[in-house]
Amino acid sequence: MQQTWSRHLRYTLAGLAGATLAGLYMGYPVYGLTAGLGIYVLWTLNQTRRLAQWLVEPDATNEAPQSLGMWGDLFEKLHKLNQNYLHSRDRLRARIDRIQESTNAMRDGVIMTNAHGAMEWWNGSAEHLLGFRHNTDQGQYIYNLIRTPAFRSYFDAKNYHEPLELHSPAKPHIHLQIQISLFGEEDRLIMAKDVTRLHQLEQMRRDFVSNVSHEMRTPLTVISGYLETLVDNADELPAKWRRAVNTMATQSFRMETLITDLILLSRIETGEQEVDDTTTDIDRLIQQICQDAQTLSDQKQHEITFKSIGGHQLKGDEKQLRSAFSNLVFNAVKYTPAQGRITVSWFSNREGGHLSVKDTGAGIEQVHIPRLTERFYRADPSRHKDTGGTGLGLAIVKHVLINHDGNLEILSRFGEGSEFICHFPAERLVVDSAEHQS
Ligand code: ADP
């Protein structure tokens, strides 16, 4: 550019010198110089006009305007820059088109919104699954189109570790799993997956377990009833039958407990047992459970203590909470050797209410902890034989907590005891009025 500029300066000065010499030849050197300068200014103005015109419509023609000297170079360079820009723009557009094409081919709905939830873009599956319309819904807030309150709280909470399940607002028979990811400046990428089939299969599994359990209950009650009568009159039985009848009675009692737990679990899981959000007096409930646990402990003589700090009660279903808490306390009794200590604490803080059941029992190896709440999962199958457990207790606890917006934390070290903590959100706490007044 430096070179072009000095050549341009040389030619300009030579042109002006020529004009001055021509003027001198005619006896008017100043007029000659003035005329030269005037022509130069007019030419420069004309080039500026051409540049301005070309900049306004750079791609109206594929050619750069032709000119002399520095202006010619300038036009050429700008033309190249413009060509590069047009190529990159086309490449980028082709790439965006391809991404949009591939996301359109996806079976899952994909939606992009800004930080406030205004919809910017979505694919064809989102239109099909959620009923969005391109011409009317662009720029609308997504929570005005998916009006379920759970979706609004999920969207605002920004905690997207777990997906959210809901019915499609446009086609209620479609069951959707929503997963949100944050990108850019808190913009959201929302994926909506059709899980209707999975949901139906899961429902079929639950119905099957529930039906079989109900069907088995009646014959089993009859068998248990007769066995009980036989055990009561064992003296009248031939000696060789007594042992068999006693074993049959024990096993039929175990089966009855199993069926009762299966029915309870399927009720809690399917929501058949509605969560009754009345206030539950946790102190009273735990005291009753601890008394039952003391009876269960019997000759093992555990030291069972209950501490309550914070003076809060809990909004929730007392029956479900009783099942969950008694499973935890009775497990502590089952898995803690004689004379061991079991401490139950109910306390509240800013995060919410927490019920902890701590024992000095056998403890659990770390590998088992993530799987303990699965149905029939046992940390040590040989150990549970004498406890008479069904393997469903912690699954019941987990589902009761899900119904109460809570979660279960398990802390344990093999050989050093265990602690099971039920966490409930602060919204479920109710100030204990009796305690408050005193
Ligand atoms: P179970 O009827 O077998 O007790 P649960 O679902 O209640 O079934 O518990 C699952 C498994 O977790 C138990 O089999 C046991 O291995 C382990 N477990 C539960 N509570 C405790 C505890 N307090 N101490 C040690 N292990 C425990």
Separation of alpha carbons 154 and 162, rounded Å: 10
Separation of alpha carbons 173 and 320, rounded Å: 29
334 and 186 housed in the same domain: no
The per-residue pLDDT for range 137-188, each reduced to its tens digit, is 999 999 999 999 999 999 999 999 999 999 999 999 999 999 999 999 899 9
Pocket test for ligand 1, best of 323, 328, 335 (most atoms within 8 A of CB): 335
287 and 379 housed in the same domain: yes
The per-residue pLDDT for range 178-217, each reduced to its tens digit, is 999 999 989 999 999 999 999 999 889 988 998 999 999 9
Tabulate helix, strand, coil % of the chain (nearest 5).
55, 20, 25
Nearest CA to ligand 1 atom 3: 391
More confident residue, 437 or 257: 257
Distance 299 CA to ligand 1 centre (A): 20
Q: Which of 414, 361, 351, 364 is nearest to 394 (CA)?
A: 364
Ligand 1 lined by 340 (C-beta under 6 Å): no
Ligand 1 lined by 258 (C-beta under 6 Å): no
332 and 433 housed in the same domain: yes
Distance 378 CA to ligand 1 centre (A): 6
Ligand 1 lined by 384 (C-beta under 6 Å): yes
133 and 187 housed in the same domain: yes
Neighbours of 168 (CB within 10 A): 19
Q: What's residue 228's pLDDT? A: 93
CB 156 within 8 A of CB 115: no
75 and 16 housed in the same domain: yes
DSSP string, 203-223: HHHHHHHHHHHHHHHHHHHHH
The per-residue pLDDT for range 413-438, each reduced to its tens digit, is 988 999 999 999 999 999 876 655 54
Q: What's residue 271's pLDDT? A: 67
401 and 291 housed in the same domain: yes
282 and 376 housed in the same domain: yes
187 and 56 housed in the same domain: no
Distance 232 CA to ligand 1 centre (A): 32
Domains contained in the chain, number? 4
Domain boundary among 161, 194, 227: 194
Q: What's residue 438's pLDDT? A: 46
Mean pLDDT of 15-23: 89
Domain boundary among 53, 72, 100: 100
Q: 332: domain range?
A: 278-437
The per-residue pLDDT for range 86-134, each reduced to its tens digit, is 899 999 999 988 988 888 889 999 999 999 999 999 999 999 999 999 8
Atom number, ligand 1, closest to the C-alpha of residue 377: 10
